[in-house]
Amino acid sequence: MSDHDDKRRQRVLRISQFNAWCVVAIASFFAVVSLGSLSVVGFLVGACVTLSGLLEIWGHRLLQKREPGARLWMTVSQVWLLICVLLYCWWRLHSLDPLDPFAGLLGVDHLLEFAEDMGTPRELVAAMFVQIYDLTYKLVALLTVIFQGGLGLYYWLQVGRIDRSFGASKKPI
């Protein structure tokens, strides 16, 4: 393995370690908070996203030890995270009732009264809320495709290059 290939491997290891532990920490925190607030969907999403971080850690450790399978596990972790987030965004977009967008939200009546006192009708606030809600989840989905899809592609290409740099005489990663 050349110096350049070793630097490539170290860079991939740094990125995957940081990304994986951030995903595990944030997703498991939200899974626990969701469990505490009795949100089954929130807990399931948090647990599934935590799994993606754990899959990346597994791939990271394989790459670190120069064992086979790192490329697959690191790439699959990003694909799994992408699927989880896209399904969650799809569910959120389809679960909002545009005719009653504030259903189930606490404290909204006070906010709507305040808006009406300021001359903004409830219907306008509701329409703006629906637009912002829709845009937010579509933006999260787009950014997830860009970042997680990009990171998965990065892992696939870079770990593949590292694999090839070992050649036939060395154990592939």
What is the model's pLDDT at position 169?
A: 39
73 near 56, Cβ under 8 Å?
yes
pLDDT tens profile 36-47: 999 999 999 999
pLDDT tens profile 3-34: 888 899 999 999 999 999 999 999 999 999 99
Mean pLDDT of 50-60: 98
- Which two structure tokens, joined as six digits, stand for 122? 């409830």
